[in-house]
Each structure stands twice: as structure tokens, then as C-alpha cells.
Homo-oligomer: A and B are copies of this chain.
Amino acid sequence: MVEQVRVDAEEVAGALLVSVGLLRRRLRQVPVEGELTLPQSSALARLDRAGPTTASALAKIEQISPQSMGATLAVLEARGLVGRQPDPADGRRVVLSVTDTGLDVLRHRRDARTARLARALSAGFSVEELSQLNAVAPLLERLAQSV
């Protein structure tokens, strides 16, 4: 009844497993007519942060197979959100980059899912809570890498 301070890793693991799954499912449900899917949003944002790179490299960062990333990127390319530049030095490589249109989508809240999430955050969370969530995002990424 006294020792309640200690944070048990097992407990945190369980809580994260459940809450991350829940949030992710909920994000998927947002109706998206003509909008980006979850992996598309993620890949586009990631490509923007990483800068021009190959599909394989992106796949490694996002922890999915190169084939899956290739399929996702193909859709983004068809929509004109990413462009492909063949590497002149190595005929096998194709370097991807975010186009101006893609940047526009990323920067101007054209992504319905992110916009909706942002709205929920603004409406229902305190500045203190927002900053907690903000601080934890990189921890989640690090955790994903180390699991």
C-alpha cells in the first residue's frame, strides 16, 4: 500500500501495447475519400524528414519490407507526391524525393488524418499534455528500433 512509486517495465509495456494499438486502429478508421492511407502518410512524412533516398533505405527506417515500401511509394508517385530520379552512377538505384505537391500536402494540413488528430489534440488536451505527448514520440521511435 506504500510502494506505488516504482514504474514496472512490464506494466508500461502492457499499457503501451494496448494504447498504441487502440490509437492506431482509430486512426485507420478515419474515412479517407481520395486521401492518403496510413502507410502512405507515414512514408511521405518519413521521406520528407530523411531527405531524398532509396526505397530500400526507407523500408529499413519504417521497418517494413522493400516490396511493401515499393508498393506504397508507387501510389504516392502516381499521385505526384513523390518523384523518382534514377541514379546516374548506379543504374540499379532510384532515388525518391518529395515533390512540391507532396510538400504542399505535408505542410498545409491536406492530410485529413493528421488534421483530424491535430484538431482532437488542440480541443481536448492541455499545453502540458501536448508537450508530454511531443516528448514521448521520439521515445516511441527509439523503442520501436530497440524491440
Contacts and interface: CB of A to CB of B under 8 A. Distances in A.
A119 B7 CA distance: 14
A32 interface: no
Contact of A144 (B10, B22, B118, B144): B22
Contact of A17 (B9, B41, B119): B41
Contacts of A134: 7, 11-12, 15
A79 interface: no
A55 B60 CA distance: 38
Copies in the complex: 2
A1 B18 CA distance: 39
Contact of A147 (B27, B135, B142): B27
Given A136-B132, A143-B121, A20 B20 contact: yes
Chain A, interface residues (CB within 8 Å), range:
35 or more
A119 to B, nearest CB: 8
Contacts of A143: 23, 117, 120-121, 124-125, 133
Contacts of A19: 137-138, 140-141, 144
A21 B9 contact: no
A130 B15 CA distance: 12
12 contacts: A9-B118, A9-B122, A13-B121, A15-B137, A17-B38, A18-B137, A22-B141, A117-B143, A124-B146, A125-B139, A132-B135, A133-B143
